[in-house]
């Protein structure tokens, strides 16, 4: 006897969030972050990007915030124009704050292989709440 496959509805929270919302944007294609050869060692770079915006995958409302990158380069440094184009690509992307910060860190590490890096997202208040998300590479690094 053959079993019938029943399509399951995605499990949702009481507020209607589901797995599709949670995974939104984390594998979307984004521009490559170019680099250039580092000429020195043992120094730190901090880049502040005050014009980050993306779309909430649940509400389709825009999210705004500041992304701060702090890293110690190894053999490569991030090229700023390419970084700007990468960050601007989030404008039309449905992605949660937490996923965006972790995705940005993941893409930076892949691009320039820093000694260490921290990405902090400070997001503007919505509904009386503001969020600050921080991701580190390697994960054991403490600020």
Q: Tell me the pairing of strands 62-72 and 76-78.
A: unpaired
Q: Is 63 a residue of the active site?
A: yes
Residue 80 marked in a binding site:
yes
**Is 98 a known ligand-binding residue?**
yes
If residue 125 lies in a helix (H) or strand (E), which one and from where to where?
strand 116-126
Phi then psi for 66, rounded to 5 degrees?
-115, 130
Which DSSP symbol is given to 58? T
Q: Is 78 marked as a binding-site residue? A: yes
The active-site residue out of 56, 74, 107, 112 is: 56
Return binding residues for substrate. Answer: 78-80, 97-98
Catalytic residue list: 56, 63
């Amino acid at each position: 006897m053959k079993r019938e496959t029943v399509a399951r509805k995605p499990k949702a929270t009481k507020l209607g969030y589901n797995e599709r919302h949670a995974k939104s944007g984390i594998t979307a294609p984004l521009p490559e972050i170019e680099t250039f050869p580092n000429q020195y060692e043992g120094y730190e770079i901090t880049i502040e990007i005050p014009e980050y915006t993306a779309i909430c995958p649940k509400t389709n409302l825009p999210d705004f915030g500041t992304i701060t990158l702090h890293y110690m380069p190894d053999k490569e440094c991030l090229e700023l124009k390419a970084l700007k184009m990468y960050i601007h690509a989030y404008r039309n992307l449905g992605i949660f704050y937490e996923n965006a910060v972790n995705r940005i860190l993941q893409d930076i590490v892949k691009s320039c292989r820093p000694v260490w890096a921290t990405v902090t997202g400070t997001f503007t208040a919505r509904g009386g709440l503001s969020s600050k998300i921080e991701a580190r590479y390697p994960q054991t690094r403490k600020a």
